[in-house]
Chains A and B, each alone.
Chain A
């Protein structure tokens, strides 16, 4: 079943972000992004609006003469930035209100893709769940955004989260140094997530992990005795939330903190997003280097 991920208003709000390349400074891609002509190809890709910092020589004066606006001509091989968006579509992502985590993740990924495409970067997509889903190789054309959206709007893969499989696969696909963005709730408790990310990092890739969590997962607001059923493996447990809430909060915070320490220790970016945070605001904060939550601010 097709899902509506974005609407024009969302893109309008994103356009106001006025993305700058420095947003990727954190990603270590500054050098590549500012030397777009290293390749031989000069195939025109599209125009894009001038942003302060663009080279003046790349202004399209003809377009300026026609429209009285500054556009920069971009070419297919203008940039060496390839972004791989790894979108978690496992069952654990099908949770949350008013929007589910997978919807939030898709909306966030779409916004990020749109911003990257808008500044001429190539964006690819790999969805996964228990298995690998759709794969769209990175392309820098704006019409690629439509394909990306359709892939995101497709029903999630489902099943149990297999983060390692997805990371392994993207490692195989990304021959050049790329930006690998993992958008997941990271509810894969097997050992090796940080190691896999570090391995990608060692291969020259920039890796950023966005952990998407629902407010209920983070704050555990339940009061009555409840039978909880796992979304992925179907296991059940009856608990009195009031009796174990403190312990739960302690556990999940320890998990997230441990994950952040492990990832950042290996040069991997880590950001936790609650679904209550609007995706455009989360993107804005991320691109401007602002902390996404209080813990991050403290860190």
Chain B
């Protein structure tokens, strides 16, 4: 027998109090002088033995009461090397069984999954349990069964999920359940993996609650390989339209794994194979290059040879055909010297090697060549430093945009605001006013002589700015805008400001016209009005702007960790509702939210999700889908540290030494002692 609070055993000294009180009281007994002592002596001789016995029995009982109280406070326990005694049928107690339902529990050991091993063990524990027992299956959701009669059925019906398992979330719920249980020993028994147990950070356990972490593999080795990460990006440096797929592989086993085979599949067909040597507990990388033909996205997969945990040996993702944007640029200020030409930098932005994931045939014409015929087959029209347009051309451009075309208008010294305003009325986001040289206001405000404005106001969620994690930290913010076109203030005008200057003027605006989009850059795309073109981020800014005008989303396939919300990339304003097809064929619809990002939350099953507009829109490009992937943390079942902060976490306690608390028995005995004392007192007084 041992004690949970041995310091409280000092309370046993309290057992000395009754005899001490008796002895002290004996000194203070009242003296009474009495003539008939002879009769007292005679009577005492006959009753003294019984009196003495009763008196010391009382003292003994009172000492025993105090000793029992002290012992109960010290919480004595009987420890035995066995499974938890609380459930072995020999002692009452209340327990919450937590069954880890994470995907690592799908690991096959001796012909069955770890989850089934854990289920059998839970059934064994349950069959011997005498107290209240609740079950929490900590899979993708917490399935809680509190009625004892239904626990066995819930145990039979439990299945592992695809997440890491929510044992961390289950622990506080288990504590809540135990808090409602009647008094008695309380136990939380979590059947999980060693690695998951190490990752746990249990909440502070209240007094009387014990946590038992049981290894579902019961100490057996659980070697495993898995795909930890995929990096899919265009590879224009290799060739136009090529994708680079780099897979990060994890090897969690005692020995190395030489020549581990990996393959890339497109639409179920193996298109590439690779081999990599993996060290024990190490990570290896394998890279594939591939090209996607056709106009729609292709289901792709990187896979390893199946092992005991098959689910993390393959990862699906979407590969998109390289989009093609036909670009027609109208040069309003052509120059014989290339570097002085209005579109010198613009051309470099859309050069084949620079357009990652894009094919952009660029055609440059003069203003006089712009006609309805020239717009045939064009996706985006660029008006760069164009002086003015005839109303007829203006109407043609408007019709082009309304039919879904894109229009980018940039400024320069040649621009006559009145002419453009007239020709592109109803198309431009705002009415042009006059060019303005930057710096006056800024210089006076700073007391310096700065002659340029800076980009400082960036739209928080505009897709044009998606390539920039933080536009304020990009090279855009240091670009000098020496001159820009002032716009009529129009608070109720259509369109939105994407980038603003520190002088308060808008620099880049967009607007939807019909099915098309218009972007207005209030400065030049050459170095005439500033140095923006020579900054590195000018390239993704313009590429993204053109992509936005054509409604082509980002080329990198989206990979969402299981259970995390997936963004819906439907930029077409006509799309009010999206239909999502899950890997199992399940259909979900989700409406576009009034505010905030559009997300899809039911990402429980890993695999490829298709997204379409509901109802379908004519002429709308196919919406990009997304892939839901497993959390790679679960691939490590052995508990090899994935992160440094795993150190110092609670070690796995399996098998657990069971113990029986005796304090309740002591308290019951204490009650009996009090009852006996009361009886002795009653008899003494009644006599």
Contact = CB atoms under 8 A, between A and B. Distances in A.
Given A226-B30, A228-B32, A231-B33, A243 B38 contact: no
A229 interface: yes
A229 B50 contact: no
B261 interface: no
Given A225-B29, A227-B30, A240 B684 contact: yes
A229 B31 contact: yes
Contacts of A91: 35
Interface in B12-55: 25-26, 29-44, 46-48, 50-51, 54-55
A204 B36 CA distance: 33
Nearest to B44: A239
A230 B39 contact: no
B461 interface: no
B53 to A, nearest CB: 10
B29 A226 contact: yes
A231 B43 contact: no
Contacts of B25: 225
Contact of A189 (B29, B34, B38): B38
Interface of B: 25-26, 29-44, 46-48, 50-51, 54-55, 684-685, 687
Given A189-B38, A239-B40, A248-B43, A226 B32 contact: yes
Interface of A: 91-93, 95, 101, 185, 187, 189, 214, 216-217, 222, 224-233, 235-240, 242-244, 246-248, 250-252, 255
Nearest to A233: B37
Contacts of A238: 26, 29
Q: Among the interface residues B35, B44, B685, which one has the most CB atoms of the partner chain A within 10 A?
A: B35
A185 B37 CA distance: 13
A246 B26 CA distance: 23
B21 to A, nearest CB: 13
20 contacts: A93-B35, A101-B35, A187-B38, A189-B38, A224-B30, A228-B32, A228-B33, A229-B32, A229-B37, A230-B35, A231-B33, A231-B35, A231-B37, A236-B31, A239-B43, A239-B51, A240-B55, A244-B48, A248-B39, A255-B39
Nearest to B50: A243
Residue from A91, A214, A229, A230 whose CB has the most chain B CB atoms within 10 Å: A230
Given A247-B47, A255-B39, A242 B685 contact: yes
Contacts of A189: 38
Nearest to A161: B35
Pick from B25, B37, B46, B51 the residue with the most CB of A within 10 Å: B37
A187 B47 contact: no
Contacts of B26: 238
Contacts of B30: 224, 226-227
Contacts of A232: 35
Given A243-B51, A243-B687, A251-B43, A227 B29 contact: yes
Given A235-B37, A237-B40, A251-B42, A243 B32 contact: no
B47 A244 contact: yes
Contact of B687 (A101, A229, A246): A246
Q: A93, A230, A238, A244: which has the most chain B beta carbons within 10 Å?
A: A244
B684 A231 contact: no
Most B Cβ at <10 Å: residue of A91, A214, A227: A227
A214 B33 CA distance: 13
Interface of B is mostly: helix
A239 B55 CA distance: 11
B402 to A, nearest CB: 112
Contacts of B33: 95, 228-231
B55 A252 contact: no
Nearest to A229: B33
B569 to A, nearest CB: 94
A216 B687 CA distance: 18
Given A238-B26, A240-B684, A243-B51, 16 more contacts: A95-B35, A187-B36, A187-B38, A230-B38, A232-B35, A236-B31, A237-B37, A243-B687, A244-B48, A248-B39, A248-B40, A248-B43, A251-B39, A252-B36, A252-B39, A255-B39
Contacts of A250: 43
Contacts of B36: 92, 187, 217, 252
Q: Which of A214, A226, A228 has its CB near the most chain B CB atoms (within 10 A)? A: A228
Contacts of A229: 31-34, 37
A225 B40 CA distance: 13
B25 to A, nearest CB: 8
Contact of B54 (A227, A228, A243, A252): A243
A9 to B, nearest CB: 29
A252 B684 CA distance: 22
Given A244-B51, A247-B47, A231 B34 contact: yes
Contacts of A92: 35-36
A217 to B, nearest CB: 5
Nearest to B41: A237
Contacts of A243: 47, 50-51, 54, 684, 687
B269 to A, nearest CB: 104
Nearest to A95: B35
B31 A227 contact: yes
Contacts of B37: 228-231, 233, 235, 237
Greatest chain B CB density within 10 A among A216, A226, A239 is at: A239
A163 B25 CA distance: 39
Contacts of B44: 237, 239, 244
B57 to A, nearest CB: 13
Contacts of B48: 239, 244
B32 A227 contact: yes
A230 B684 contact: no
Contacts of B54: 243
A96 B41 CA distance: 20
Contacts of A242: 684-685, 687
A64 B636 CA distance: 141
Contacts of A235: 37, 41
A157 B25 CA distance: 37
Contacts of A231: 33-35, 37
A250 to B, nearest CB: 8
Contact of B34 (A228, A240, A246): A228
Nearest to B54: A243
Contacts of B39: 248, 251-252, 255
Nearest to A185: B35
Given A95-B33, A243-B51, A244-B47, A228 B40 contact: yes
Nearest to A232: B35
Contacts of B47: 243-244, 247
A232 B40 CA distance: 14
Nearest to B34: A228
Nearest to A231: B35
B643 to A, nearest CB: 74
B35 to A, nearest CB: 4
9 cross-chain pairs, A with B, having the tightest CB-CB distances, nearest first? A247-B43, A230-B37, A92-B35, A244-B47, A248-B43, A244-B43, A251-B39, A243-B51, A228-B34
A248 B35 CA distance: 13
A239 B51 CA distance: 8
B589 to A, nearest CB: 89
A185 B36 CA distance: 9
A185 B39 CA distance: 13
A230 B34 contact: yes
B51 A240 contact: yes
Contacts of A236: 31
B34 A95 contact: yes
B156 to A, nearest CB: 68
A251 B40 CA distance: 8
Contacts of B32: 222, 226-229
A190 to B, nearest CB: 11
Most buried by A among B30, B31, B39, B51: B39
A225 B38 CA distance: 17
A247 B687 CA distance: 11
Contacts of B685: 242
A232 B34 CA distance: 9
